[in-house]
A and B are shown apart, each in its own frame.
Chain A
Amino acid sequence: MHELPVTQSIVSIASEEAYKHNVKVVKEIRIKLGRLTGLMPSCIQYYFDIISKGTVVEGAILNIEKLPIRIRCGSCGKESIIDVNSYLCSFCNSNDIKIIGGNEFYIESLEVE
């Protein structure tokens, strides 16, 4: 629901980095997005195409990679990837788990000319 302010932030961070590196054309913005966040990639791209007009990042494709929910098990100590429907260790089925990934939301890199 709050994709617009988020997209504005993507445009401003990516533009800032482009200027910093003296880049004229940004072809792709690579973003990592954890599955626990409720943001919709298609909606972000839609807003991006509108609000990036006239900026250095205009025309860039947003490559949004979804990252899984990762947990560390308090019983067996192993790390595993889980589904949103089952918060249990994939190795020993314990529910003594700590979420260690899935909240991510950052720009990893820009592909430029």
Chain B
Amino acid sequence: MEIKVVRQILEWNENCHAELQKLFDEKKVLVINIMGSPGAGKTTFIKRIIEELNKQYNIGVIEGDVAGKIDAEKIAEMGIPVVQLNTDGACHIEAMSIKNMLCDFDLDKLDILIIENIGNLVCPAEFDIGEDLKVAILSIPEGDDKVEKYPLMFSRADALVLNKYDMKNVFNFDEDRVFENARNINKDIKLFKVNSVSGEGLNSFIEMIKNKIKK
């Protein structure tokens, strides 16, 4: 005998994601999920965003890492409320982990919550964590074939940031290949070319964030 079920296997995460999105809408917090490989420059990018926006907005950060608190310390030095989330080996962050961290923030006072996901192009793409924006960071030295190799990440991202853009010629990087492939799998993806160290190219990204602030 067959019993019809039709239930999402990740339903535990999807339910929690929906609950978080509702809460963040009520509290008017814009939540940004930053994803990318280890070494893509996620933390440097986040620090830049903070520098550009923290005079105007209240920002909080959740730093996801398999181990250690190196990144959280860098953010804390900037005087920004930050919590380190250690996954003890897990390859991604889940919605429930974010929910458990929220007691460390005053959501009524927060405008933007930035979550740095675990450095990995595969698993974080499968788990929604209550975010409004998924940002995939790809750095030039990683190579121009990554969108083709890891389509899920780029098919689900709202924005693709090509980081370390100043290294483009050094690595003979074909940006058209990346942008074309990204648009093929994700028509609406927004594309940015950034050097997070100098801040070059960051303006249009900052404008996008400002336009999405919840009022």
Contact A74 B187 (CB under 8 A): yes
Q: Mark B1-31, 1 if CB is under 8 A from A, else 0.
A: 1111111111110000000000000000000
Q: Tell me the bound Cα distance from A113 to B2 in angstroms.
A: 9
Question: A97 near B: Cβ within 8 Å?
Answer: yes
The count of residues in chain B whose C-beta lies closer than 8 Å to any C-beta of chain A is 31
Partner of A97 from B180, B181, B187 at Cβ < 8 Å: B187
Q: Tell me the bound Cα distance from A48 to B142 in angstroms.
A: 35
Partner of B3 from A21, A37, A98 at Cβ < 8 Å: A21
Q: Tell me the bound Cα distance from A108 to B81 in angstroms.
A: 43
CB within 8 Å: A-B pair count: 86
Contact A37 B152 (CB under 8 A): yes
Contact B90 A2 (CB under 8 A): yes
Q: Tell me the bound Cα distance from A87 to B148 in angstroms.
A: 9
Complex contacts, A107 vs chain B, CB 8 Å: 5-7, 9
Q: Tell me the bound Cα distance from A31 to B152 in angstroms.
A: 20
Report the minimum CB–CB distance from A34 to chain B (whole Å): 9
Complex contacts, B7 vs chain A, CB 8 Å: 13, 17, 106-107
Contact B185 A87 (CB under 8 A): yes
Question: B184 near A: Cβ within 8 Å?
Answer: yes
Contact A109 B184 (CB under 8 A): no
**Residue of A23, A31, A37, A113 most packed against chain B (CB within 10 A):** A37
Q: Tell me the bound Cα distance from A9 to B8 in angstroms.
A: 9
Contact B10 A85 (CB under 8 A): no
Contact A109 B183 (CB under 8 A): no
Q: Tell me the bound Cα distance from A68 to B185 in angstroms.
A: 14
Report the minimum CB–CB distance from B18 to chain A (whole Å): 16
Q: Tell me the bound Cα distance from A19 to B90 in angstroms.
A: 31
**Residue of B11, B148, B184 most packed against chain A (CB within 10 A):** B184
Question: B76 near A: Cβ within 8 Å?
Answer: no
Complex contacts, B9 vs chain A, CB 8 Å: 6, 9-10, 13, 31, 105-107
Closest B residue by C-beta to A21: B3
A-B residue pairs in contact (CB < 8 Å), sample of 5: A2-B91, A36-B155, A96-B187, A105-B8, A110-B3
Question: A38 near B: Cβ within 8 Å?
Answer: yes
Report the minimum CB–CB distance from A79 to chain B (whole Å): 15
Q: Mark B147-174, 1 if CB is under 8 A from A, else 0.
A: 0100110010000000000000000000
Which chain A residues numbered 1 to 44 have a C-beta less than 8 Å away from chain B?
Answer: 1-2, 5-6, 9-10, 13-14, 17-18, 21, 23, 31, 36-38
Q: Tell me the bound Cα distance from A111 to B3 in angstroms.
A: 6
Report the minimum CB–CB distance from B167 to chain A (whole Å): 27
Complex contacts, B152 vs chain A, CB 8 Å: 36-38, 103
Contact A110 to B148, CB < 8 A, known contacts A1-B91, A88-B184: no
Q: Tell me the bound Cα distance from A98 to B185 in angstroms.
A: 7
Question: B122 near A: Cβ within 8 Å?
Answer: yes
Question: B213 near A: Cβ within 8 Å?
Answer: no
Q: Tell me the bound Cα distance from A40 to B23 in angstroms.
A: 34
Q: Tell me the bound Cα distance from A38 to B123 in angstroms.
A: 8
Q: Tell me the bound Cα distance from A14 to B11 in angstroms.
A: 13
Question: A55 near B: Cβ within 8 Å?
Answer: no
